Amino acid sequence: MLDPNMQYSCALFAEDDDLDSAQLRKLDWICQRLRLRPGLRLLDIGCGWGGLARYAARNYGCQVVGITISQEQCRYAQRWCRGLDVEIQLRDYREVTEQFDRVVSVGMVEHVGYKNYRTYMRAAARSLGEDGLFLCQGICGNFSRVHTDPWIERYIFPNSMLPSLAHLTRAAEGVFIIEDVKNIGPNYDPTLLAWEENFRRTWPRFADRYGERFRRMWRFYLLSCAGVFRARSLQVFSILFSKEGIAIGSDGRDQGQVVSSSRTAVLERSALL
């Protein structure tokens, strides 16, 4: 279902991009927002299958530590990142004691829970040097709620909870300075449609193992979520934090316009750098 970089989070589409290109664009956009450069130490909280850690090490010369609480993802990422300056650890984010120049967390805050948002922000700050940057990127609701859709909770993402932007900014008060907020949510509609297309195309390879009930459930999940993002009921916020306050300006690495396509409309938006 996913792209070759195993990104299970929102891509970043320019006009005529396919999923693979859009996910590469997202990875590079994140690295540039963090102002990564050779020699920096990067902590990836909730590193998934290791795609971002691998990309940052290979393309930006960073030393990366990725953490996950999934044994399967940990084993996969360790194999995939072998030979690179990447260490994948089976560890809870609250247990990290090392210091890093940059901290990133993509698609993980949805699994923290509203009682832990403040703990999450403090853990990221504790892991970050004084002149560092923290990028938190994830799905957010338009309203501050403390419950999840019951169907999604039961069948897709147990123990998940979507924060609002207000949840996260309140949790960061006195811990971080907010440097920049970008909303790439319109890109999730085409991301989900691309996943669903890949799923349908490859379904015969594993139909016998999962069965018709799973096929219907998974398509409902992907397509209903695409509809929610197309309706703008959910967003994806990419929030850049600092501890001491950093003057953000053009450094000659401007992204210019990031084009977001929902297959029927193109939304132009400018990126930070």
Domain borders along the chain are 19-270
DSSP lists the bridge partners of residue 258 as 269
Catalytic residue among 10, 47, 74, 225: 225
CA–CA dist 162, 164 (Å, integer): 7
- For residue 244, what pLDDT band results from cuts at 50, 70 and 90? confident
Q: Can you spell out the DSSP letters for 139-194?
A: EEESS--S---HHHHHHT-TT--PPBHHHHHHHHTTT-EEEEEEE-GGGHHHHHHH
What pLDDT, in 10s, does the model give residues 180-239? 999 999 999 999 999 999 999 999 999 999 999 999 999 999 999 999 999 999 999 999
DSSP string, 189-216: HHHHHHHHHHHHHHGGGTHHHHHHHHHH
Other CB atoms closer than 10 Å to residue 201's CB: what's the count?
10
Give me the chain's average pLDDT, please: 91
The SS3 call for residue 26 is: helix
- Can you list the pairs that 153-158 forms with residues at least 24 positions away whose Cβ atoms lie under 8 Å? 155/217, 155/221, 156/221, 157/110, 157/111
Residue 257 has pLDDT above 60, yes or no: no
19-270: what fold? Rossmann fold (3.40.50)
- Give, as one character, the DSSP assignment of residue 112: T
Residue 154 neighbours by CB under 8 Å, 6+ apart: none
Residues found in the chain: 273
Amino acid at 125: A
pLDDT single digits (tens) 166-197: 999 999 999 999 999 999 999 999 999 999 99
What's the rounded Cα separation, in Å, for the pair 64 and 69? 17
Query: Is the model's pLDDT at 245 over the cut of 80?
Result: no
Note if 74 is an active site residue: no
62-71 per-position pLDDT tens digit: 999 999 999 9
Report CA Rg, the chain.
Answer: 18
Q: How confident is the model at residue 246 (pLDDT cuts 50, 70, 90)?
A: low
